[in-house]
């Protein structure tokens, strides 16, 4: 028996050895190594001087007050959400409500004031890339979810060529992103007779610059012509007016590409979710006189919520690591308005050869993703236990 | 109970079909545009453009098949293609072997520290890939693996997700089945090969497909690791061509066709397994 156990141990380590060694070297060690590298000025041929927290100071600026205040206000939002949900008796509920609103208001004020000063003293490029990432999430995830769900429901009907449609809708997701992005780079060219501009012409609209248009979409809709820093304004309104301009049209073009790629993929996962909904529910609803639309909103949407939840996480995390299509679709004219954090980190290494600073920005990205993961775990538990 | 009136029912079906057809059209149109542009002359790519495949301007006057020869030879897409095949097949084989072996051990062999090692393995799933970029560049170059097949493939072949996926499946295989094969003193490797592997074709295909496609479509890592055309894959070659070469849209699109075709062919051949694999990959998060 002891011989058997020894043999099992040896076999176990031999079988798992290659995987564990590779994961150790290329997945676990790098996390700690990134922290180390981020403390140095590090060039492609090696470290070129210890900086301590220098890279982080460059990113967040010299005065720690604004960083702490921004973090505190984000913590305040979480606390407020927690207080607003507390349900311990009527008194507790009222207290929670009052406290929640108070904390929320205070955090909001702190956030609105602190963030612009943090950005003003920190690295604008990094904060711009975070804003781009957020716009990218907002522009892609909700639309892909809604369109993917509707498409899945349509594909789930008995319709001629159903299987063929399913096959076709998945092609953009499977094809190499470099190649499909290269096609869109051509479709969305700024030439007046480009594919996209001819299409606009059919509706009597003027040609657009698409991927080379750095102006914000909201800004363009409001008719403002100039792109660039706003005229003399205080730090706070100047910062928030940049948000008010919306994502650039160049980002909007990338978002359209993203819809084309991902809606079919989302609908495939939704179809998988639909197959788990018992038919009898729809039959019962029909007997009760519910129409198609009613059963869609009362049965389909709620019962697909696990898939929706999963796809939301996948989508948001996807925007944090988005790289390939943006690398192909970005033009110098609009570069700063389309680079999410992942692309910004890449160029800090690839163009500027600043490995130490790129590591520091990677740590910021890691912190954000970790924060979102913790938040996700909490809400997931809540969903599971039906709170 | 009243029966449904017949005609609106059919109209509904027709509208549904039309909507799905329009959607399929939007999905396919960019690919048609790619193919038609890849067969145009340089002048035609600039002067004959139309958003409608029903317009003659959408298509070339005479298909320039020589564009493909030019892309393959002059723009070196032939070399990039060969590199992509070697890199993707190597990644696929390494991934399947390494993941299957370790998933088997985590599922069926009792060895000291198994649970804790598996937990550590799973914890790597929450690390965003972008974080690996800088340290792995430094690690791979300190190994002297820049511009080598090892540097291109090994950092990605041990994936916690694939090991997790296979272990889930292996767990469902009853132990008795393996013990029967081991009564005659056969070792773990034997029961792994002759019992477990033949039972697990579907999940192994999933891992093979996903790792092949992942490697074939990858851009960032090969962009960083490769220099010159020695190991440069199609994705990098095409990107370089877009950013550095002239306005030869027809060659770009021929390059895009060369990059897309193998994946789409594979997809059409093994459509069912592919769809299954991609559905499984969605369980990742």
Does A128 lie in the same domain as A116?
no
The per-residue pLDDT for A224 is 62
Closest CA to A384 of A299, A306, A297: A306
Question: Which of A42, A154, A180 is opposite residue B19, by nearest beta carbon?
Answer: A154
More confident call, B3 vs A128: A128
In this prediction the ipTM stands at 0.89
Question: Which of A20, A30, A264 is opposite residue B135, by nearest beta carbon?
Answer: A30
Could you give the number of structural domains in chain B? 2
The per-residue pLDDT for A252 is 93
* Residue that finishes a domain, picked among A82, A104, A121: A121
Does B171 lie in the same domain as B126?
yes
Residue B285 pLDDT > 50: no
Residue B153 pLDDT > 70: yes
How deeply is B5 buried, as exposed, middle or buried, from its count of CB atoms within 10 A (0-12, 13-18, 19+)? Answer: exposed
Does A198 lie in the same domain as A262?
yes
For chain B, counts of helices (H) and of strands (E) = 16, 0
> What average pLDDT does the segment B126-152 reach?
91
Closest CA to A73 of A121, A112, A124, A119: A112
Does A178 lie in the same domain as A31?
no
Q: Write out chain B residues lying below 8 Å of A25, CB-based.
A: 139
Does A205 lie in the same domain as A296?
yes
Instruction: Check: CB of residue B285 under 8 Å from CB of residue A316.
Output: no
Decide if A329 touches B, using CB distance below 8 A: no
Say if A218 falls within a structural domain. Answer: no
Say if A220 falls within a structural domain. Answer: no
* Residue that finishes a domain, picked among B15, B40, B64: B64
Could you give the number of structural domains in chain A? 3
Say if B1 falls within a structural domain. Answer: no
Does A376 lie in the same domain as A341?
yes
Does B120 lie in the same domain as B16?
no
Say if A323 falls within a structural domain. Answer: yes
The per-residue pLDDT for A233 is 75
Decide if B281 touches A, using CB distance below 8 A: no
Decide if B32 touches A, using CB distance below 8 A: no
Say if A20 falls within a structural domain. Answer: yes
* Residue that finishes a domain, picked among B17, B34, B64: B64
More confident call, B75 vs B134: B134
Closest CA to A344 of A358, A332, A331, A330: A358
**Residue B51, min C-alpha distance to chain A (Å):** 5
Integer angstrom CA distances of residue A360 from A33, A40, A59, A340: 11, 10, 8, 16
Rounded percentage of chain B residues whose pLDDT exceeds 90: 44
The per-residue pLDDT for B1 is 43
Question: Which of B27, B49, B271 is opposite residue A172, by nearest beta carbon?
Answer: B27
Does A146 lie in the same domain as A19?
no
Best of B85, B134, B154 to mutate (most A CBs within 10 Å, chain A): B134
Q: Write out chain A residues lying below 8 Å of B114, CB-based.
A: 12
For chain A, counts of helices (H) and of strands (E) = 19, 2
Planar angle of CA B134, B219, A40, nearest 5 degrees: 10
Domain of B199, CATH number, reads 1.10.3720.10
Does A145 lie in the same domain as A93?
no
Say if B70 falls within a structural domain. Answer: no
Instruction: Check: CB of residue A304 under 8 Å from CB of residue A274.
Output: yes
Give the model confidence (pLDDT) of A295-338 as tens digits: 888 888 888 888 888 888 888 888 988 999 999 999 888 888 99
Task: Tell me how far apart the 2 most distant CA atoms of chain A are, in Å.
Answer: 84
Say if A318 falls within a structural domain. Answer: yes
Does A197 lie in the same domain as A108?
no
Which of 249-288 (A) contact B at CB < 8 A? 260, 264-265, 268-269, 272
The per-residue pLDDT for A39 is 95
Does B126 lie in the same domain as B21?
no
Length of chain B measured in residues: 285
Does A358 lie in the same domain as A270?
yes
Tokens of A5: 């156990």
The per-residue pLDDT for B9 is 58
Would you call A51 helix, strand, or coil by DSSP? coil
Does B49 lie in the same domain as B92?
no
Say if A233 falls within a structural domain. Answer: no
The residues of chain A scoring below 50 in pLDDT are 385-387
Does A135 lie in the same domain as A44?
no
* Residue that finishes a domain, picked among A39, A58, A77: A58
**Residue A301, min C-alpha distance to chain B (Å):** 19
State pTM to two decimals.
0.90
Give the model confidence (pLDDT) of B232-281 as tens digits: 999 999 998 888 767 788 899 999 999 999 999 988 888 888 888 888 77
Q: What band does B2 get if pLDDT is binned at 50, 70 and 90?
A: very low
How deeply is A111 buried, as exposed, middle or buried, from its count of CB atoms within 10 A (0-12, 13-18, 19+)? Answer: middle
Say if B69 falls within a structural domain. Answer: no
Residue B32 pLDDT > 60: yes
Residue B184 pLDDT > 80: no
Does A269 lie in the same domain as A174?
yes
Q: What is the mean pLDDT of chain B?
A: 86
Q: Which of A167-176, A278-287, B13-22, B93-102 has the lowest mean pLDDT?
A: A278-287
Decide if B179 touches A, using CB distance below 8 A: no
Domain with A53 in it: 2-58
Q: How many CB atoms lie within 10 A of CB A69?
A: 17
Does B47 lie in the same domain as B81?
no
Decide if B154 touches A, using CB distance below 8 A: yes
The per-residue pLDDT for A1 is 63
Instruction: Check: CB of residue B220 under 8 Å from CB of residue A346.
Output: yes
Domain with B29 in it: 6-64
Say if A234 falls within a structural domain. Answer: no
* Residue that finishes a domain, picked among A94, A121, A148: A121
Decide if A210 touches B, using CB distance below 8 A: no
Say if B255 falls within a structural domain. Answer: yes
């Amino acid at each position: 028996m002891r011989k058997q156990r020894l043999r099992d141990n040896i076999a176990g380590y031999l079988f798992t050895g290659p995987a564990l060694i590779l994961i150790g070297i290329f997945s676990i060690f790098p996390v700690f190594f990134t922290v180390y590298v981020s403390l140095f000025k590090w060039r492609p041929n090696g470290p070129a001087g210890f900086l301590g927290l220098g890279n982080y100071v460059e990113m967040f600026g010299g005065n720690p007050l604004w960083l702490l205040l921004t973090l505190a206000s984000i913590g305040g939002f979480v606390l407020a959400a927690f207080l607003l949900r507390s349900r311990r008796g009527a008194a507790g509920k009222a207290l929670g409500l009052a406290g929640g609103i108070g904390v929320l208001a205070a955090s909001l004020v702190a956030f609105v004031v602190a963030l612009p000063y943090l950005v003003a003293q920190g690295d604008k490029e990094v904060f711009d890339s975070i804003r781009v990432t957020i716009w990218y999430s907002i522009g892609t995830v909700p639309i892909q979810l809604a369109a993917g769900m509707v498409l899945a429901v349509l594909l789930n009907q008995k319709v001629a060529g159903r299987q063929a449609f399913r096959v076709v809708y998945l092609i953009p997701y499977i094809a190499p992103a470099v190649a499909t992005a290269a096609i869109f780079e051509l479709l969305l060219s700024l030439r007046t007779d480009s594919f996209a501009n001819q299409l606009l012409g059919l509706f009597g609209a003027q040609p657009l610059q698409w991927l080379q248009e750095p102006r914000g979409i909201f800004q363009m809709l409001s008719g403002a012509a100039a792109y660039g820093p706003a005229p003399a304004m205080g730090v706070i309104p100047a910062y928030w007016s940049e948000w008010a301009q919306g994502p650039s049209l160049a980002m909007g073009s990338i978002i359209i590409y993203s819809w084309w790629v991902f809606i079919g993929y989302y609908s495939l996962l939704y179809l998988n979710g639909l197959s788990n909904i018992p038919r009898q529910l729809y039959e019962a609803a029909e007997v009760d006189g519910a129409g198609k639309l009613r059963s869609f909103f009362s049965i389909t949407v709620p019962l697909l919520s696990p898939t929706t939840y999963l796809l939301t996480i996948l989508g948001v995390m996807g925007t944090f690591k988005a790289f390939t299509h943006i690398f192909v679709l970005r033009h110098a004219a609009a570069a700063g308005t389309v680079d999410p954090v992942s692309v910004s980190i890449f160029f800090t290494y690839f163009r500027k050869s600043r490995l130490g600073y790129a590591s520091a920005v990677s740590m910021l990205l890691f912190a954000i993703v970790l924060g979102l993961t913790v938040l996700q775990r909490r809400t997931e538990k809540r969903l599971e236990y039906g709170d | 109970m009243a029966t449904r009136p017949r005609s609106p029912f059919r109209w509904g079906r027709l509208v549904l079909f039309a909507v799905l057809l329009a959607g399929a059209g939007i999905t396919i149109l960019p690919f048609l545009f790619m193919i038609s542009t890849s067969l145009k002359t340089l002048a035609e790519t600039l002067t004959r453009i139309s958003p409608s495949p029903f317009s003659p301007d959408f298509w070339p006057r005479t298909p320039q098949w020589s564009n493909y020869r030019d892309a393959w030879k002059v723009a070196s897409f032939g070399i990039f293609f060969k590199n992509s095949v070697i890199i993707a097949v190597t990644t696929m084989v390494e991934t399947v072997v390494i993941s299957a072996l370790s998933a088997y051990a985590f599922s069926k062999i009792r060895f000291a520290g198994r649970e804790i090692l598996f937990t550590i393995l799973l914890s790597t799933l929450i690390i965003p890939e972008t974080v690996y970029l800088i340290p792995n560049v430094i690690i791979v170059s300190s190994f002297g693996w820049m511009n080598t097949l090892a540097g291109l493939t090994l950092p990605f072949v041990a994936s916690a997700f694939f090991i997790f996926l296979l272990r889930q499946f292996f767990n469902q295989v009853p132990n008795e089945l393996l013990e029967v094969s081991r009564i005659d003193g056969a070792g773990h490797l034997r029961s792994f090969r002759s019992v477990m592997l033949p039972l697990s074709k579907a999940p192994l295909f999933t891992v093979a497909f996903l790792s092949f496609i992942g490697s074939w479509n990858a851009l960032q890592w090969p962009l960083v690791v490769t220099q010159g055309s020695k190991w440069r894959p199609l994705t990098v070659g095409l990107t370089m061509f877009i950013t550095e070469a002239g306005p030869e849209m027809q060659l770009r699109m021929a390059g895009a066709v060369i990059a897309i075709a193998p994946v789409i062919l594979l997809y059409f051949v093994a459509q069912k397994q592919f769809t299954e694999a991609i559905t499984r990959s969605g369980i990742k998060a």
